[in-house]
Structure 1
Amino acid sequence: MAERDELEARCDALEETVAHHQQTIEELNETITAQWREIDALKRHFARLGERLQEVEEASGAGAVPSEKPPHY
């Protein structure tokens, strides 16, 4: 009977461990999903800023200015 009790205790411990792992996986998945949404929003924002910068450069004629370092560098 002691062997059966030991097996039941081991099974209970394994079930508890699996439950904790499942919870951790769900939390990690939620975190990754939130980060993906934030990265996607930042990419879109960055693209819009790049477009606006290009429009400003074209409107001001800054696109014609060379982007070389001055000779004193």
Structure 2
Amino acid sequence: MNDLESQLAFQEDIIEQLNQQVYDQSQQLTELQQHVRFLAKKLKQIQEDNSSAGVDPSHEPPPPHY
């Protein structure tokens, strides 16, 4: 009986740890999604600024080679 209680306590502890890990990863995912939205906005803004300024990225000189 004590062995079963010990196993149950161990499993409850593992479940709690896993729940915490899922919560932490959910928070990280939310933060990363916010960063992606921010970067997408910035990229769109830069592209709009370049197109309104008449900058054509296909006419840029190639980068220097090493």
TM-score for both structures, normalised by structure 2? 0.77
Q: Count matched residues.
A: 56
In the alignment, structure 2 segments of 5+ residues that lack a partner are 57-66
Name the % identity: 25
Report the equivalent of 1:16: 6
Matches within 5 A, 1:35-46: 35-46=25-36
In the alignment, structure 1 segments of 5+ residues that lack a partner are 1-10, 66-73
Structure 1 residue identity aligned to 2:2: D
Once the two structures are superposed, residues 34-70 of structure 1 have per-residue CA deviations (whole angstroms, 9 ceiling, x without a partner) of 00000100000000100000000001018xx6xxxxx
Report the equivalent of 2:18: 28
Runs (4 or more) in structure 1 with deviation over 2 Å come to: none
TM-score for both structures, normalised by structure 1? 0.69
